[in-house]
Amino acid sequence: MTTKKSVLETNDQLDYDLVVVGCGIAGLSAAVLAQQNGIRVAIIERATKDERGGNTRYTESYWRMKSRDSVSDDFEEQLISNSGGYPDPEITKDVLRSYENWPPILKSLSFTDPDLISTISSEAPNALQWLETFGIKFDFLPNYFINESTTRMAPIGGGLALVEALATFAETGPGDVTIHYETTAKSLIHNNNGGIIGVNAVGKGNKPLKILGKGVVLASGGFEGNPEMASHYLGPKALYIRPVARGGYYNRGEGIRMALEAGGAPAGDYGSFHAQPIDPRSGEQEPIVLIYTYGILVNKFAERFIDEAPTTVDASYESRTRAIMQQPEGIAYAILDGRLDDIPNWQKSVRSDIPPIIADTISDLASQMDLDADNLSRTINSFNKSCPDPAKFDPIQADGLSTRGLKPIKSNWARALDRPPFRAWPIIAANCFTFGGIKVNNNSQVVNMDGEAIPGLYAAGEVVGLYYRNYPGSTSVMRGAVTGRLAALDFVRRHNQ
Ligand SMILES: Cc1cc2nc3c(=O)[nH]c(=O)nc-3n(C[C@H](O)[C@H](O)[C@H](O)COP(=O)(O)OP(=O)(O)OC[C@H]3O[C@@H](n4cnc5c(N)ncnc54)[C@H](O)[C@@H]3O)c2cc1C
Q: Which of 326, 351, 418 is nearest to 381 (CA)?
A: 418
**How many A from CA of 26 to the centre of ligand 1?**
8
> Is residue 366 over pLDDT 90?
yes
Output the pLDDT for position 11.
53
Output the pLDDT for position 145.
83
pLDDT in tens, 209-246: 999 999 999 999 999 999 999 999 999 999 999 999 99
- 358 or 344, which is more confident: 358
Give the atom of ligand 1 at the shortest distance from the alpha carbon of 26: 25
**How many A from CA of 463 to the centre of ligand 1?**
10
Output the pLDDT for position 306.
98
**How many A from CA of 419 to the centre of ligand 1?**
42
472 lines ligand 1 (CB under 6 A): no
**How many A from CA of 23 to the centre of ligand 1?**
9
Ordered DSSP codes for 396-461: TS------SS-SS---S------SSSEEEEEEEEEEEEE--EE-B-TT-EEEBTTS-EEEEEEE-G
- 181 or 6, which is more confident: 181
Output the pLDDT for position 110.
97
CA 465/CA 112 separation, integer angstroms: 8
Output the pLDDT for position 1.
47
Query: DSSP assignment, residue 345?
Result: T
22 lines ligand 1 (CB under 6 A): yes
314 lines ligand 1 (CB under 6 A): no
CA 346/CA 291 separation, integer angstroms: 7
> Is residue 6 over pLDDT 60?
no
Output the pLDDT for position 227.
97
- 142 or 133, which is more confident: 133
> Is residue 2 over pLDDT 70?
no
pLDDT band (50, 70, 90) for residue 8: very low
**How many A from CA of 401 to the centre of ligand 1?**
38
62 lines ligand 1 (CB under 6 A): yes
109 lines ligand 1 (CB under 6 A): no
Give the atom of ligand 1 at the shortest distance from the alpha carbon of 47: 47
pLDDT in tens, 109-132: 999 999 999 999 999 999 999 999
* Cα distance from N-terminal residue to C-terminal residue, the chain: 34
**How many A from CA of 386 to the centre of ligand 1?**
43
461 lines ligand 1 (CB under 6 A): yes
272 lines ligand 1 (CB under 6 A): no
269 lines ligand 1 (CB under 6 A): no
Mean of pLDDT over the chain: 95
Give the atom of ligand 1 at the shortest distance from the alpha carbon of 53: 49
Handedness of CA 476, 203, 226, 255 (dihedral sign): negative
**How many A from CA of 223 to the centre of ligand 1?**
11
CB atoms within 10 A of CB 83: 20
> Is residue 7 over pLDDT 50?
no
Residue to mutate, 1, 51, 59, ligand 1, most ligand atoms under 8 Å from C-beta: 59
Give the atom of ligand 1 at the shortest distance from the alpha carbon of 27: 25
Name the residue at shortest CA distance from atom 42 of ligand 1. 184
> Is residue 320 over pLDDT 70?
yes
Give the atom of ligand 1 at the shortest distance from the alpha carbon of 462: 26
Cis peptide before 355, with omega less than 30 degrees from 0? no
Give the atom of ligand 1 at the shortest distance from the alpha carbon of 28: 25
Q: Where are the domains of the chain?
A: 13-272+435-495, 275-430
Query: DSSP assignment, residue 386?
Result: T
pLDDT in tens, 277-294: 999 999 999 999 999 999
437 lines ligand 1 (CB under 6 A): no
The two domains 13-272+435-495 and 275-430 share their CATH topology (first three levels equal)? no
CA 402/CA 406 separation, integer angstroms: 10
Name the residue at shortest CA distance from atom 12 of ligand 1. 476
Q: Which of 497, 492, 495, 443 is nearest to 37 (CA)?
A: 492
465 lines ligand 1 (CB under 6 A): no
Query: DSSP assignment, residue 475?
Result: -
CA 327/CA 476 separation, integer angstroms: 27
pLDDT band (50, 70, 90) for residue 141: confident
21 lines ligand 1 (CB under 6 A): yes
Fold of 13-272+435-495: FAD/NAD(P)-binding domain (3.50.50)
Q: What is the CATH class of 275-430?
A: alpha beta
Work out the average pLDDT over 61-89. 94
pLDDT in tens, 368-418: 999 999 999 999 999 999 999 999 999 999 999 999 999 999 999 999 999
60 lines ligand 1 (CB under 6 A): yes
